[in-house]
Amino acid sequence: MCGIVGFSSLDRPACVPLVNGLRRLEYRGYDSAGVALESPDGIKVFKKTGKVAELDKLLKERLGDEENAKCTIGIAHTRWATHGLPTEVNAHPHVADGGRLALVHNGIVENYAALRAQLEKKGCSFVSQTDTEVLAHLVAVFDRGDFLSAVSRALKKVEGTYGIAVISTRHPGEMVVARKGSSLVIGIGEGSTVVASDVSAIVAHTRQVIYLKDGDVARVTPGGVDIYTLDNVPVSREVQEVEWDAESVEKGGYEHFMLKEIFEQPETLRNTIRGRLDKVNCTAILSGLNLPPRELASIRRAVIIGCGTSLHAGMAGKYLFESLADIPTSPEQAAEFRYCNPIIGPDDWAIAVSQSGETADTLAAVRESIGKGALVSAICNVVGSTIAREAGRGVYLHAGPEISVASTKAFTSQVTVLAMIALKLGRARRLSREDGASICAELAALPDLVAKVLERNGDIAKVAEKYSGASDMFFLGRGILYPTALEGALKMKEISYVHAEGYQAAELKHGPIALLCEETPVVALLNDIPGKEKTVGNVQECRARKAPVVGIVTEGDESAAAHCNDVVYVPRTSAVVAPIVTVVALQLFAYHVARLRGCEIDQPRNLAKSVTVE
Ligand code: G6P
């Protein structure tokens, strides 16, 4: 979704770091981009619809070397349209005060129509259809000499969410940034200060960062940062060291980030598991949960909340929690949950699952659950993200930065964490030592099992070749593999634009089977775990309608393979880790179909990596 970069230096031109920062944020999804540079002769704004490369070209054409050298402070933005079409006029930065002030914004100003009407009465004229432009005018109207106070006063009028960066030629050398509900990070470099909505745009400069908190407003200069509340009270925020280095946000020789991230999974799973399996007591050590066994034993119900891929991980969590720990568990789509006045209270455990830790609906569901007195934990990948901080306790994935919009390594780590939580819960309740030991052993073996699936990449590419021309596909799974079928279908539609549906294997015959024909391939998850024989029956129903079946089959299970037109083999596992191992084959299948169809894999149309609006 929208991305912000700001750069402030005494002597280094801002343009290149700003554009490079935007490139790092491209993965979030956007449809236009822009830069504003502060120069001694005023603010220079450059905007372009489409890719950052287009904006870069424009800057190279329009910004002379001499001018470039003088502009050492600037702000930049990638916009994902919410209010108004993705046009150049609507692209950020937006200007006010006769072109003296420029502002970039992530989030939504909910009362923008009322604010706009008031500002128009005062004589401000608007050029765009965006909610953001009101912020630029508001700051200009309140500017009586102190830039930071002007921004604070303006923000007090705003209902909604924001991450902003503002510059003004009335206050040379000063940039003001603020956040509420939309992340903003400040990187403290040597002789320069960098601002971004996402730490991946900062790590090329520095790994010393400050995560602003909601309600913070900060004055950023080349020498550092001063942070205040909106009421002008100074606050101090800890400088933290980012674990990721610049290399971890590079493609590392792979054609796409998605492929790199799929292949990273043995390593990311190793990192997720490291130090967390207690082989002596046959349980998991998850100290971030901060829940003593007594408290674990008293939980009556779990609710696992998420969106998209994270929701699918939560659905797999239901099977794990119920089968290993006997805890009734409901997976909940975060927006549905937050708006249905959910029945949740002190005996319930709400677990928010979010790769980015910034998804607006998931965050709102966390707040709703905290407000109703539930025990709340988070499973996030991005350290220091809003959901992780607000939940207060939880488990980090340690999967490293996920750049591809289509989530892969986060999913496998999320399900792994949920399996470890289920193990811990189970052992605190009724899971035997022997069963605990065998789950520990399976989880420890996961990186090697996933590596075996990756060895099948060539076979999977061949199967993909056969079906890459299909316009519709079905993915069938049963029990714990049903969420994996949903996730396989989601991957397929996200990156290849093939219409794909995930179904419970038994549900197909209650309607969707009407769509089956020779042109509708069915991917069936036939792993040799309980329920397989029933799914084999469903496969026969598909074959009888002439639909070609691609079976995901356990190595050596020739009887299941015999029912399929094409087979992708995966290693033998128990049901507990089957979703994790199996999804890797589906990720590769979707990847190859998208590649063969010539799709833009890392930045699929209309999608955003981190959805920070409702
Ligand atoms: C977006 C992304 C999905 C992701 C979902 C939830 O829709 O495109 O890949 O699964 O948000 O994101 P989260 O960061 O909360 O896991």
> Do residue 244 and residue 338 come from a single domain?
no
Judged by average pLDDT, the poorest of 80-94, 220-234, 369-383, 407-421 is 80-94
pTM reported for the whole predicted model = 0.79
- pLDDT for res 613: 72
Q: Is the CB of 407 under 6 A from ligand 1?
A: yes
Helix (H, G, I), strand (E, B), or coil: what is residue 416? helix
Q: Is the CB of 607 under 6 A from ligand 1?
A: yes
Residues near 231 by beta carbon (within 8 Å), at least 6 away in sequence: 152
* 414 vs 484: CA distance, rounded Å: 13
> Do residue 274 and residue 212 come from a single domain?
no
> Average pLDDT in the 457-475 region?
97
Atom of ligand 1 nearest to the CA of 407: 9
C-alpha distances in angstroms, 130 versus 78, 89, 90? 14, 9, 6
C-alpha distances in angstroms, 588 versus 12, 264, 458? 43, 13, 10
As for how many domains the chain has, the answer is 2
Atom of ligand 1 nearest to the CA of 306: 15
CB atoms within 10 A of CB 415: 32
Instruction: Decide which of 215, 249, 283 is a domain's last residue.
Output: 249
Taking 70 as the threshold, does the pLDDT of residue 1 lie above it? no
The model's confidence at residue 483, banded by pLDDT at 50, 70 and 90, is very high
Residues above pLDDT 70, as percent of the chain: 99
Please tell me what DSSP assigns to residue 160: B
> Do residue 146 and residue 224 come from a single domain?
yes
Q: Is the CB of 397 under 6 A from ligand 1?
A: no
pLDDT tens-digit readout, 244-253: 776 667 777 7
- pLDDT for res 610: 75
- What DSSP letter does each residue of 187-224 carry, written as one string? EE-SSEEEEESSGGGTTTT-SEEEEPPTTEEEEEETTE
Letter for the amino acid at 319?
Y
* 261 vs 535: CA distance, rounded Å: 30
Q: Taking Cα atoms as reference points, which of 377, 369, 301, 359 lies closest to residue 338? A: 369
> Do residue 270 and residue 233 come from a single domain?
no
pLDDT tens-digit readout, 31-77: 899 999 999 889 999 999 999 999 999 999 999 999 999 999 999 99
Q: Taking Cα atoms as reference points, which of 401, 420, 399, 423 lies closest to residue 411? A: 399
The model's confidence at residue 159, banded by pLDDT at 50, 70 and 90, is very high
Taking 90 as the threshold, does the pLDDT of residue 108 lie above it? no
Strand pairing category for 549-554 and 522-526:
parallel
The model's confidence at residue 80, banded by pLDDT at 50, 70 and 90, is confident
User: How far from each other are the two terminal CA atoms of the chain, in whole angstroms?
Assistant: 12
pLDDT tens-digit readout, 109-143: 989 999 999 999 999 999 999 999 999 999 999 99
CB atoms within 10 A of CB 340: 10
> Do residue 239 and residue 271 come from a single domain?
no
Question: Does a structural domain hold residue 608?
Answer: no
Q: Is the CB of 610 under 6 A from ligand 1?
A: yes
Residues above pLDDT 90, as percent of the chain: 84
* 223 vs 157: CA distance, rounded Å: 30
Distance from the CA of 362 to the center of ligand 1, in angstroms? 10
pLDDT tens-digit readout, 267-315: 999 999 999 999 999 999 998 998 887 888 889 999 999 999 999 999 9
Instruction: Decide which of 226, 249, 272 is a domain's last residue.
Output: 249
Instruction: Decide which of 218, 249, 280 is a domain's last residue.
Output: 249
* Backbone phi, psi, residue 2, to 5°: -50, 145
* Protein residue closest via CA to atom 3 of ligand 1: 308
CATH code of the domain containing 368: 3.40.50.10490
From 310, 363, 490, mutation site for ligand 1 pocket: most ligand atoms within 8 A of C-beta? 310
Q: Is the CB of 399 under 6 A from ligand 1?
A: no
Give the DSSP H or E segment for 377: strand 375-380
> Do residue 7 and residue 93 come from a single domain?
yes
Contact criterion met (CB below 8 Å) for 520 and 472:
yes
Hey, what are 152's tokens? Answer: 């604070």
The model's confidence at residue 418, banded by pLDDT at 50, 70 and 90, is very high
From 198, 408, 603, 610, mutation site for ligand 1 pocket: most ligand atoms within 8 A of C-beta? 610
> Average pLDDT in the 71-86 region?
90
Q: Is the CB of 405 under 6 A from ligand 1?
A: yes
> Do residue 244 and residue 264 come from a single domain?
no
CB atoms within 10 A of CB 57: 12
> Average pLDDT in the 420-428 region?
95
Letter for the amino acid at 258?
M
> Do residue 343 and residue 462 come from a single domain?
yes
Distance from the CA of 614 to the center of ligand 1, in angstroms? 12
CATH code of the domain containing 129: 3.60.20.10
CB atoms within 10 A of CB 123: 8
**Order of strands across the sheet with 375-380?**
329-333, 301-306, 348-354, 375-380, 394-396
* 404 vs 610: CA distance, rounded Å: 11
Distance from the CA of 404 to the center of ligand 1, in angstroms? 11
> Do residue 389 and residue 537 come from a single domain?
yes
* 377 vs 299: CA distance, rounded Å: 13
Taking 70 as the threshold, does the pLDDT of residue 428 lie above it? yes
* 390 vs 522: CA distance, rounded Å: 42
Parent domain of 341: 258-596
More confident residue, 151 or 254: 151
Hey, what are 128's tokens? Answer: 């765009």
Burial 151-172 (b: 16+ CB within 10 A, else e): bbbbbebbeebbbbbbbbbebe
C-alpha distances in angstroms, 294 versus 279, 282, 424? 21, 17, 12
Contact criterion met (CB below 8 Å) for 355 and 310:
yes
> Do residue 245 and residue 265 come from a single domain?
no
Taking 90 as the threshold, does the pLDDT of residue 260 lie above it? yes
* 4 vs 117: CA distance, rounded Å: 27
Contact criterion met (CB below 8 Å) for 182 and 161:
yes
Q: Is the CB of 362 under 6 A from ligand 1?
A: yes
609 catalytic residue (yes or no):
yes
Instruction: State yes or no: cis peptide before 86, omega within 30 of 0.
Output: no
Q: Is the CB of 604 under 6 A from ligand 1?
A: no
Taking 70 as the threshold, does the pLDDT of residue 154 lie above it? yes
Residues near 16 by beta carbon (within 8 Å), at least 6 away in sequence: none
Question: Is the torsion defined by CA of 153, 156, 159, 164 positive or negative?
Answer: positive
Residues near 440 by beta carbon (within 8 Å), at least 6 away in sequence: 277, 278, 279, 282, 283, 284, 423
> Do residue 240 and residue 295 come from a single domain?
no
564 catalytic residue (yes or no):
no
Question: Does a structural domain hold residue 606?
Answer: no
Instruction: List the catalytic residue out of 51, 180, 491, 609.
Output: 609
Question: Does a structural domain hold residue 614?
Answer: no
Question: Does a structural domain hold residue 604?
Answer: no
Output the average pLDDT for the chain. 94
> Do residue 199 and residue 298 come from a single domain?
no
